[in-house]
C-alpha cells in the first residue's frame, strides 16, 4: 500500500492566499510600473462577484494586468525562487512544515494539489519537501515564456479531483493500492475529500468545519 499525503496550499500550508502576493512580488521584479494599474483589479473582482467572469478567467486577467501578456521563462524562474523564499520566511505555518517533514520521514509520497499556478508553487513545494505538484498550468510560447493564459483547467473544485486522478494514472498508480490522506481548508475541495481515505479539515472555514463535524472527519487548526 502506497501512502500519499495530499495537500492543498493556500490557507492550508500558508497563512494567507498566495496569488495576489505572488503577483505583487513578480510585478515589482518584472515591470514595476505596472503596480500603478492595481486599481484596475477592482472591476475584475466586481465581474467575478457578479459571475460575469469565472475564477480561471479572473486569474488570467489579473496576471495580464500586473505582469503583462508574457514573461520570459528564465526571468520567471528567478522570480518564483525568490517568491518561494519569501513565502517560507513569513507565510507558512510551522506546524505544516513539521507535519510534512514527519510524513516524509514515515515514507509518505508528498503531493501538493493546488489551484495556484504550478510554475510558482513548484519551487515552494520543492523547498518544503514535496515529491510532486499538481496545479493550474500556464500556457507558454515557443520560446518558453509564461503567458497570461491557463493551459487546460483551473485546478479548483471538481477539476482538482480530475487532475489528481489524471496524475495518478500518469504515474501508473492504481487507486486501490493507495491510502490517501488529504489536507485542505476549503469546502470547494469536497470532491477530493470524498475521494480520499483520510480527509483532514485543516484550518477549516466555518462551512467546512460543520461538514467535517457531521461526517466525523479529523479537524486540525495550525497557528
The domain ranges of the chain are 2-220
**Residue 51: pLDDT band by 50, 70, 90 thresholds?**
very high
Give the model confidence (pLDDT) of 59-109 as tens digits. Answer: 999 999 999 999 999 999 999 999 999 999 999 999 999 999 999 999 999
The β-bridge partners of 5 are 110, 181
**Residue 223: pLDDT band by 50, 70, 90 thresholds?**
confident
Q: Which of 118, 113, 200 is nearest to 164 (CA)?
A: 113
What DSSP assignment string belongs to 166-204?
HHHHHTT--GGGEEEEEEES-GGGHHHHHHSSEEEEES-
- pLDDT computed for residue 105 by the predictor: 96
Instruction: List helix spans (H) across the chain.
Output: 19-30, 41-49, 55-67, 73-90, 94-105, 118-128, 158-170, 190-195, 206-215
Q: What average pLDDT score do residues 196-203 get? A: 98
Determine the 3-state secondary structure of 18 from DSSP.
coil
Asked whether the predicted pLDDT for residue 150 surpasses 90, the reply is yes
User: Which superfamily does 2-220 belong to?
Assistant: HAD superfamily/HAD-like (3.40.50.1000)
**Residue 52: pLDDT band by 50, 70, 90 thresholds?**
very high
Residue 80 near residue 120 (C-beta atoms within 8 A): yes
Amino acid at each position: 500500500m502506497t501512502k500519499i499525503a495530499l495537500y492543498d496550499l493556500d490557507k492550508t500550508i500558508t497563512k494567507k492566499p498566495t496569488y495576489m502576493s505572488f503577483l505583487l512580488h513578480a510585478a515589482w521584479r518584472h515591470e514595476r510600473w505596472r503596480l500603478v494599474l492595481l486599481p484596475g483589479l477592482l472591476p475584475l473582482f466586481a465581474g467575478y462577484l457578479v459571475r460575469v467572469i469565472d475564477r480561471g478567467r479572473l486569474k488570467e486577467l489579473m496576471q495580464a494586468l500586473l505582469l503583462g501578456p508574457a514573461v520570459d521563462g528564465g526571468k520567471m524562474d528567478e522570480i518564483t525562487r525568490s517568491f518561494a523564499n519569501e513565502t517560507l520566511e513569513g507565510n507558512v505555518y510551522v506546524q505544516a512544515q513539521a507535519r510534512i517533514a514527519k510524513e516524509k520521514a514515515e515514507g509518505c509520497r508528498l503531493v501538493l494539489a493546488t489551484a495556484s499556478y504550478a510554475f510558482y508553487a513548484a519551487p515552494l513545494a520543492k523547498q518544503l519537501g514535496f515529491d510532486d505538484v499538481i496545479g493550474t498550468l500556464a500556457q507558454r510560447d515557443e520560446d518558453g515564456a509564461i503567458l497570461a493564459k491557463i493551459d487546460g483547467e483551473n485546478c479548483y473544485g471538481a477539476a482538482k479531483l480530475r487532475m489528481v486522478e489524471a496524475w495518478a494514472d500518469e504515474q501508473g498508480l492504481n487507486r486501490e493500492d493507495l491510502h490517501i490522506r488529504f489536507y485542505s481548508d476549503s469546502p470547494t475541495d469536497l470532491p477530493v475529500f470524498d475521494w480520499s481515505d483520510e480527509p483532514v479539515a485543516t484550518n477549516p472555514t466555518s462551512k467546512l468545519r460543520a461538514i467535517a463535524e457531521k461526517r466525523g472527519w479529523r479537524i486540525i487548526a495550525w497557528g
